[in-house]
Amino acid sequence: MLRRNREAIAKDGVRGAGPLFTPLSDLQRPLRQQVFERVRAAGQIARVQVAKDLGVSPASVTTVTSELIAAGLIEEVSASRDGDQGRGRPAVALGVRANAHFVAGMKLSDREQTAVIVDFAGNMIADDSIPRQPGPMRTSDLLDDLETLLSRVCAKAGVPRHQLSAVGIGVPGFVDFSEGLVLWSSVLIERGVHLAAAASTRLGIPVAVDNDANLVAMAELWFGAGRDLSDFAVVTLEHGVGMGFVMNHRLYRGARNVGMEIGHTKVQLDGALCRCGQRGCLEAYLADYALAREATTALNWGHRESQSVSVLLESLFAQAKAGNATARSIFRRAGRYLAVGLANVVNLFDPALIILSGERMRYDYLYAEDTLAEMANLVIPTGRPPTPIEIHAWGDLLWSQGAAALALAHVSDSILGAGRESAA
C-alpha cells in the first residue's frame, strides 16, 4: 500500500522532538532524564501529564522539574486551555529552554556537504550546504570541508562555533557508531578512519558519527512519521542504498554497530560489481551509478561517459518520461530489485511502516504500482493487510536533521544519564 508524503518536517514551531513513547528498556534510566525527554517530545506539557505518562507520583515530577529548571534545561511557559477566554490565571506548562544548548548536524555525501544548526528543543535555526567534487577525498580535505561549512552555518544562525555543545555527522558506508570509526565510505580514500575523534580535534567540539541511513531513521523518529511508531524501516536511495531500522522506539544498529546494510545484501551470485568491492549487491543494481551504467550500455551512450552521473540520470529520466521503452525498462529492472529488497525487509522484520527516502525518489518509475505489486507477491502471504509504504523525497536537509538529533541525544545523555541511542 503506497502513501505519498506526509506533512514535511517542520522547521520551526512548538511540535516537540524525539520519540513520543518511551521504550520499556529505557525505564531504568534516571528519572530526570525520562522527565526531560518527555517534555522535549511533547513540546509543551503540564507536570501532571508528565507524571501520568511516566507512571510516577506528581510530587516526584515536581521535585525533578524544579531541579531541571534550576539547571536551566527546562522552563515554565504559558499554555492555553480549551475554552480559555482569557479569564483567571493562565495555565502553566513545561518546555525545554531552547537556548540552553545548540548543536550542529552535518551530512557528507558524494555530491555536497549539508549542515543545520538546531537548538536544544529541536528547532532548526539555520541550514547551509557546499558543493564538492565527486569521488573519495582524503580525511584532511574532508575535515577542511567540515570546518568551512560549520563556520558558514554558524554565521547564518548567529551562534558562535564555540557555543555548540556537539556535532553529529552522517556519512555513507560502514560506520561503527560506538567507536566513531568509519570502516569504509565512498567519500573517503582511507579506510578505518576514526572520524569522530579527528573531527572533534579539528573543531574543538564533541562529535558523534553514524551511517547516514541510520540518521534518516533518526530524523523520522525525532521529527517525522516515526515519532509514534514502535517499529519502522527507512530505505534510502541516493548515491547508494541504505537502511535504518527502529525497533521498540530505538534505532537498531546490530551487535557490532554495522548492521542493516540492505544495499549490500546479495541479490545475484557473481553479479554486477558494487562500489564496496563485492559482487551481486542490491546497490549494484539500484544505486545511481548502477542506473547510469545501464543507460550507458543500453542506450549506446558510450560517448557520454565523461558526463557526471547526475547528468546521465536526468537524461535517462527525461527519456523515460518521453516514452523511450529502453529507458523505462532500465527503471523497471531497478524497480524489480527494489521490490526484492523491500519484500525481504517485510519478511525479516514485519515493520509497521516502510519509508522510502532520498533524492532518487524523484524517479517515480522505481516505485510504480506494478513494481510494488511485485513486492506484494514476494511477501509471505499471511492474509493480513500489506505493510504501508510512504515516499519522503525531502533531500539532504532531512539527513542533516537526523545528524542533529544524534548530537542532541549525545548532549542530553552526557548531562542527564546513560546513553539512550546505543544499539538495542
Tens-digit pLDDT profile for residues 381-391: 998 899 999 98
Residue 258: CB partners within 8 Å, gap ≥ 6? 174, 175, 176, 183, 211
Q: Are strands 164-171 and 207-211 parallel, antiparallel or unpaired?
A: parallel
Confidence of residue 23 (pLDDT cuts 50, 70, 90): low
Q: Are strands 102-108 and 164-171 parallel, antiparallel or unpaired?
A: parallel
**Which residue did the predictor score with more confidence, 250 or 89?**
250
Instruction: Return the C-alpha torsion angle 52, 55, 57, 59, nearest 10.
Output: -70
Q: Are strands 112-119 and 207-211 parallel, antiparallel or unpaired?
A: unpaired
φ/ψ bin of 77: left (φ > 0), alpha (ψ from -120 to 50), beta (otherwise): beta
Q: Largest Cα–Cα distance of the chain, in whole Å?
A: 77
Q: How far is CA 35 from CA 54, 120, 122, 271, in A?
A: 8, 15, 16, 52
Can you tell me the distance from the alpha carbon of 279 to that of 370, in angstroms, rounded to the nearest whole number? 27
SS (H, E, C) 20-54: CCCCHHHHHCCHHHHHHHHHHHHCCECHHHHHHHH
- Cα angle, residue 281 at apex, residues 280 and 285 outer, rounded to 5°: 85
Residue 14 has pLDDT above 50, yes or no: no
Residue 310: CB partners within 8 Å, gap ≥ 6? 111, 288
pLDDT, tens digit, 9 for 90 and up, residues 346-369? 999 999 999 998 877 777 766 677
Task: Name which of 52-56, 58-62, 224-228, 301-305 the model is least confident about.
Answer: 301-305
One-letter amino acid for residue 310 of the chain: S
Confidence of residue 240 (pLDDT cuts 50, 70, 90): confident
* Domains with residue ranges and CATH for the chain: 2-99 (1.10.10.10), 100-218+397-416 (3.30.420.40), 228-394 (3.30.420.40)
SS (H, E, C) 294-332: HHHHHCCCHHHCCCCHHHHHHHHHHHHHCCCHHHHHHHH
Instruction: Please give the pLDDT value at position 59.
Output: 96
Instruction: Please give the pLDDT value at position 86.
Output: 53
Bridge partners of 74, per DSSP, are 96
Residue 423 has pLDDT above 90, yes or no: no
